[in-house]
Amino acid sequence: MTKPIEFATTADGARIAYRLHRGSGIARCVLVHSLALDHRFWDVVLPLLAGLGDVLVYDCRGHGLSDKPAGAFSVQQHADDLAAVLDAVGWPQALVAGASMGGCISLAFTAAYPQRVAGLGLFDTTAWYGPNAPQQWEERGQKGVSEGMAALAAFQKSRWVTEGFLLSHPEVVDAALAVFLASDTQAYLQTCRMLGAADLRAALPAFRCPTRIAVGAEDFATPVAMAQALHAAIPGATLRVIEGARHLTPLECPQLIADELTALAASVTATVAAA
């Protein structure tokens, strides 16, 4: 059963929109979307998780129906926002998984709230975009402000999924693109700056929860090398490189991502049983 949109209030008073999907299993899982999208990013994955348990999706600060406060913010603030959402639904702990920007937020949440993370899913993401990231993300954000989000649309579509998927599933890409084009440009700029500044590498060796990493073999935004760096740094993590996929694997190959989440839930259950 799907509940209607509800709102959590963060420490600074921002309202964060969330939706809880009830499943038949025992797991509790929260999914964090990609940049300039919203909770509907997971719509193609959710039906495949009905047997997993309850799944929580939400609109990150600056996105969707959530508040878009003026001024800068950090990936750590997003982690605090996620804590507020979990508090709102009464979950002390959950499987936490995110794609691209959502993966960065999931990493920051795990670093700040390790006791609240039963398992970690990292899709098409990185802990650090590299030494040139601040300038590159600033340029992208400023283009959205000065020329409008439509000026970035063709670039994004070519990175999100392969040409074959664009042709075979235009409805999936069109739905994501509509959300992207409706993005608040100032919030987009601030989020780009946040990603440019994010560096979570130092926290990774302390992670102790089961962790599964997946990335498209043709991902140009967060290449396989970035996923390999996560895999090398997080103890016990697994890595799956998905052939024939690009940056947003939850859109392009939802069944494989659902399989990763199901395997993550199983590994969490096994870890608890062995404790």
**pLDDT averages per 10-residue partition of the chain, 275 residues:** 86 96 94 98 96 96 97 96 98 98 98 98 98 98 98 95 96 97 98 98 98 98 98 98 98 98 89 52
What confidence score (pLDDT) does residue 28 get?
A: 96
C-alpha–C-alpha distance, residues 101 and 117, integer Å:
18
What confidence score (pLDDT) does residue 145 get?
A: 97
The position carrying tokens 């300039």 is: 36
Kindly list the domain boundaries of the chain, sorted by start residue: 6-132+198-274
103 to 5, 80, 109, 252: CA distances (angstroms): 23, 15, 10, 17
C-alpha–C-alpha distance, residues 120 and 93, integer Å:
11
What confidence score (pLDDT) does residue 253 get?
A: 98
- Name the 3-class secondary structure at 155: helix
C-alpha–C-alpha distance, residues 271 and 9, integer Å:
33
The residue among 58, 83, 42, 6 whose CA lies nearest residue 248 is: 42
What confidence score (pLDDT) does residue 57 get?
A: 98
The answer to whether the beta carbons of residues 248 and 219 sit under 8 Å apart is: no
Region of residue 66 (phi > 0: left; psi between -120 and 50: alpha; otherwise: beta)? beta
Region of residue 217 (phi > 0: left; psi between -120 and 50: alpha; otherwise: beta)? alpha
Q: The tokens of 80 are what?
A: 């605090």
What confidence score (pLDDT) does residue 122 get?
A: 98
C-alpha–C-alpha distance, residues 103 and 144, integer Å:
22
The position carrying tokens 């509790």 is: 28
**φ and ψ at 16, to 5 degrees?**
-115, 120
The position carrying tokens 């664009």 is: 166
Region of residue 83 (phi > 0: left; psi between -120 and 50: alpha; otherwise: beta)? alpha
* Fold for the domain defined by 6-132+198-274: Rossmann fold (3.40.50)
Q: The tokens of 136 are what?
A: 């590159």
What confidence score (pLDDT) does residue 1 get?
A: 55
What confidence score (pLDDT) does residue 227 get?
A: 98
Q: What is the pLDDT of residues 82-125, one digit of tens each?
A: 999 999 999 999 999 999 999 999 999 999 999 999 999 999 99
Q: Are strands 211-216 and 94-99 parallel, antiparallel or unpaired?
A: unpaired
Q: Which amino acid, one-letter code, is at 219?
A: D
C-alpha–C-alpha distance, residues 37 and 58, integer Å:
11
Q: Which amino acid, one-letter code, is at 87?
A: D
Helix axes 133-147, 185-197, angle to 10 degrees: 180
What confidence score (pLDDT) does residue 268 get?
A: 84
Residues contacting 40, CB < 8 A, separation 6+ = 57, 64, 175, 179
